[in-house]
Amino acid sequence: MLENTIKHNETISRLTRKKPLIIAGPCSAETREQVLETADLLSRTGKVDMFRAGIWKPRTRPGNFEGVGEAGLEWLREVKALYRLPAIIEVANARQAELALRYGIDAVWIGARTTVNPFSVQEIADALKGAAIPVYIKNPVNPDIELWTGAVERIQQADIKDIGLIHRGFSSYGNARLRNVPMWHLAIEIRRRFPDLPVLIDPSHITGNSALIPEILQKAIDLDYDGAIIEAHCRPGSAWSDAAQQVTPDELLRIINAIIWRKDDIQEERIIGQLEQLRRQIDQYDHQLLELISKRMHISREIGRVKKEHNVTILQTRRWQYIYDRVKALGQELGLSEEFINHYMEAIHLESIRNQDIIMNPKD
């Protein structure tokens, strides 16, 4: 029995390092029949590596369907036995983590609403301490890279060997097209901090709209993500939660087959040579850009001295608006995106203010 358990754990550990890793299943486990039918259809695609299902579904507001609870774990046992699909669920507290272990769930993920709370993450880490179970950590609801980092560190300190990251986007008031904003730069930063951890994309929660899933999935694959976790339901139109963002197993198969899977390793010397030549140009331009920005900040400090001499405020709103409008128009002419110009000008402005503040308010 122990030998079988060890072999199973080793198999799951290898599976989590597969690329691409595809996890799919319904947002919520609703009924035994719905879970088994969806698992059957997903297993037939030959593309799904793990079966996901929401067992506990805390909703933003009470009164909506909040999951079947422990009964659903029995259904996942059947999925594993009948279709040879490892099961993964979300856990939000110690009791749920303990039940996942008791029922032989193969992997768990920590949801966005839980990642935002270090107390809850620590509770889960304590419950799973030393367990041979992969743990995936979704980004927190709000765009706070330190919370995401802290959650990873807490799970690492619990002696969990297999840890992964899930990028599901960040809440943003007033965003109409996507349910959650990707903020790709934050996902890139977390990968820089933990380069050895696999990163999955969750296009279902980013889009909130099944029609947009291919677009986001392709963008993630182009950025060298390691796989995806996608909500799939045997009958999405009648789903008890998040119907709009779930796809059928057949739709999932079409999406996966249509994705262009990029290579992350270059072997051909011709391509390596082309890239190296272009990258040397990038390095040269980066050097020139930093030199120019340094010169700009030197002038900002000179402006700070004039303002200090004449008791003028650092922020000159009209002047700043003029600069912003001029640079925005020029950026558009040069083919730069408005999003980039906004980030660039915000960074330049804050650094200019910092330089002038040093002049006007020197620290002893």
Q: Which domains does the chain have, with CATH numbers?
A: 2-258 (3.20.20.70), 269-360 (1.20.59.10)
In the structure, what pLDDT confidence band is assigned to residue 58 with cuts at 50, 70 and 90?
A: confident
Q: pLDDT tens-digit profile of 10-37?
A: 889 898 999 999 999 999 999 999 999 9
336: its two tokens: 């730069």
C-alpha to C-alpha distance for 96 and 91, rounded to whole angstroms:
5
Does residue 197 or residue 339 have the better pLDDT? 197
Q: pLDDT tens-digit profile of 220-258?
A: 999 999 999 999 999 999 999 999 999 999 999 999 999
- Assess whether pLDDT exceeds 70 at residue 7: yes
* Overall size of the chain counted in residues: 364
C-alpha to C-alpha distance for 124 and 152, rounded to whole angstroms:
12
- Assess whether pLDDT exceeds 90 at residue 264: no
Mean pLDDT of 205-228: 96
Residue 231's SS3 state is strand
DSSP, residue by residue, 225-271 = --EEEEEB-SSGGG-SS-GGG-B-HHHHHHHHHHS----S----HHH
Mean pLDDT of 101-124: 97
Average pLDDT of the chain?
94
- Assess whether pLDDT exceeds 90 at residue 8: no
Does residue 363 or residue 354 have the better pLDDT? 354
C-alpha to C-alpha distance for 266 and 103, rounded to whole angstroms:
43
> In this predicted structure, what is the pLDDT of residue 282?
94
C-alpha to C-alpha distance for 84 and 275, rounded to whole angstroms:
43
Closest CA to 54 of 256, 209, 240, 253: 240
CA angle 113, 167, 39 (to 5 degrees): 85
- Assess whether pLDDT exceeds 90 at residue 267: no
Chain mean position to CA 221: 13
Looking at the DSSP bridge assignments, the partners of residue 138 are: 166
Out of 22-31, 159-168, 195-204, 344-353, least confident range = 344-353
Residue 170's SS3 state is strand
> In this predicted structure, what is the pLDDT of residue 268?
80
User: Contact, 231 vs 25, CB < 8 A?
Assistant: yes
Does residue 188 or residue 3 have the better pLDDT? 188
Looking at the DSSP bridge assignments, the partners of residue 23 are: 50, 229
Percent helix, strand, coil in the chain, to 5, is 55, 10, 35
pLDDT above 70 as % of the chain: 98
> In this predicted structure, what is the pLDDT of residue 219?
96
Q: What is the CA radius of gyration of the chain?
A: 25
Give the Å distances, CA to CA, from 129 to 91, 109, 160. 14, 15, 7
* CA end-to-end distance (rounded Å), the chain: 70
Mean pLDDT of 82-88: 97
> In this predicted structure, what is the pLDDT of residue 9?
85
> In this predicted structure, what is the pLDDT of residue 6?
77
pLDDT above 90 as % of the chain: 85
> In this predicted structure, what is the pLDDT of residue 174?
66
> In this predicted structure, what is the pLDDT of residue 262?
83
> In this predicted structure, what is the pLDDT of residue 175?
61
C-alpha to C-alpha distance for 303 and 358, rounded to whole angstroms:
12
Q: What is the pTM of this model?
A: 0.85
